[in-house]
Amino acid sequence: MSVAQTSIVLAEPAKQIKISKHIYGHFAEHLGRCIYDGFYVGEKSTIPNTAGVRNDIIEALKKLNIPNLRWPGGCFADTYHWKDGVGPKENRPTIVNTWWGGVTEDNSFGTHDFLNLCEILGAEPYLSANVGSGVVQELIDWIQYTNFGGESPMSKWRRENGRAQPWNVKYWGVGNEAWGCGGHMTPEFYANIYRQYATYMNGWSGMPLYKIASGASSNDYNWTEVLMKNIPHNMVDALALHHYSVIDWSDKGPATGFSEKHYFATLEQAWMMDSLIIKHGAVMDKYDPKNKVKLVVDEWGGWYDVEPGSNPGFLYQQNTIRDAMIAGMTLNIFNNHADRVVMANLAQAVNVLQAVVLTEGEKMILTPTYHVMEMYKVHQEGNLLRSKITTPDYQLDGKKIPVVSVSASKDSTGILTVTLTNLHPSKTQETSIDLGAAYKAYTGRVLAGSSIQDHNSFEQPQRVIPKLFKSAKLNGRELKLTIPAASVIVLQFEAK
Ligand code: AHR
């Protein structure tokens, strides 16, 4: 009989914690081929589309139950002037995308295009406002344009542009990376600017807006400290946090064909998300012991060198089993911190960084990360179970990270979902789980490759796809399974 190397005990938490569906959010910036020649091909394209947006992408994202989509940036947001993107397309001025490749865009994808797309997807829009190079009035006008049902200059303009009813956009980001591309501000200066913007944001729709302050970069705890100290908590709903799994900003390494050293270093960065949430959370607790102000990790994912031959400013990269590991582990971390993290946005949805969808002409492929998001979607709105895990370390060059990660939730019908990742590139993991109650049956799926570099390509779009996982042994409340090397598993259990 094999002895379990990893053991997990699931238990109901003392207080019920819901895993917000918004943890499974996405991000679409005007960057490279994310919007233009990605989502948006234009009404006249021969690629099947709805109002210019590719139907295959719409279908793929709907299957993820995509809960929200962040737009128009990123760094681009702080250069974007929304008024240039509404009205007849032929009259719209151009904009030079100075952050990403210096390309000239024709503004043909604007506010109506984005908000109508969100309606089609059934996703909440999350608009990132221009604070860096904009003015307060520009944001007030945008809110009035998208949300005001009464008579006003902006609602009149919206109606003239073909939209009678407001969209009622709830989620608003007040700038992006204010410490960097959003204005290189100090936290003290940004906190004041934030207060000024937030003062004028309410009152344009029946519902209160959900206001998200531009938060820290990775482990900049001082940024969080100053914002929590200087922004009144009734003026802010959440602080953002950005953290990318990047080995070294000056030498990121390739997206495919990487070494085990690269693999380990990337996952070490991804695992850091756990301590970032704990430590930023501790700073927030100091000023807000009731945990009113939440965390929104609105940019996360792996960041590598661009694909050889592609525009360096377009951030186009392939997506391998390594990315599936980042996604599986990070989503487990978010689920386990669902009392603090209420929203997250993978960077980015299409053709940029850790994308779920890649396109080439009329072809579209789903990446390993897509499949993880699809496998994990059953956690959305579930009640979190506490997972106590004992697992060995995956070690390399004297560094270590836990080899297995887990999260668990129960849906409203009593179905238990457990998701697991085994990060080890070559070792399987004998695992036992005490499910906390007896279950009569389970279903399972696994995503694995023949190597950590495995990925889908336009020639082989189905190389990495989830397969049925039937080899676990269920005995009442005990489950025993062998988790394949470098794999992600989802298990669902039917109550007795
Ligand atoms: O996601 C790419 C870029 O990364 C975003 O524009 C910016 O916010 C971050 O630095």
pLDDT tens figures, 81-95: 999 999 999 999 999
Start-end of CATH 3.20.20.80 domains in the chain: 19-381
Nearest CA to ligand 1 atom 4: 74
Catalytic residue, candidates 29, 105, 124, 299? 299
What atom in ligand 1 is closest to the CA of residue 180? Answer: 10
29 CB within 6 A, ligand 1: yes
* pLDDT given for residue 17 in this prediction: 97
Catalytic residue, candidates 29, 105, 124, 177? 177
Provide the CATH topology of domain 3-10+385-495: Immunoglobulin-like (2.60.40)
* pLDDT given for residue 22 in this prediction: 98
* pLDDT given for residue 202 in this prediction: 85
pLDDT tens figures, 221-246: 999 999 999 999 999 999 999 999 99
Which residues, including other chains, have CB under 8 Å from residue 170's CB and lie 6 or more apart? 124, 207, 209, 210
Flag whether pLDDT at 385 surpasses 50. Answer: yes
Provide the CATH topology of domain 19-381: TIM Barrel (3.20.20)
pLDDT tens figures, 388-425: 999 999 999 999 999 999 999 999 999 999 999 999 99
Nearest CA to ligand 1 atom 8: 74
N-terminal to C-terminal alpha carbon distance within the chain: 27
pLDDT tens figures, 1-18: 356 699 999 999 999 999
Any catalytic annotation for residue 177? yes
Any catalytic annotation for residue 459? no
Start-end of CATH 2.60.40.1180 domains in the chain: 3-10+385-495
The length of the chain, given as a count of residues: 496
178 CB within 6 A, ligand 1: no
- Res. 490 pLDDT band, cuts 50 70 90: very high
75 CB within 6 A, ligand 1: yes
Per DSSP (E only), the strands in 234-293 are 238-245
320 CB within 6 A, ligand 1: no
pTM of the model: 0.97
> SS3 string of 286-324?
HHCCCCCCEEEEEEEEECCCCCCCCCHHHCCCCCEHHHH
pLDDT tens figures, 115-144: 999 999 999 999 999 999 999 999 999 999
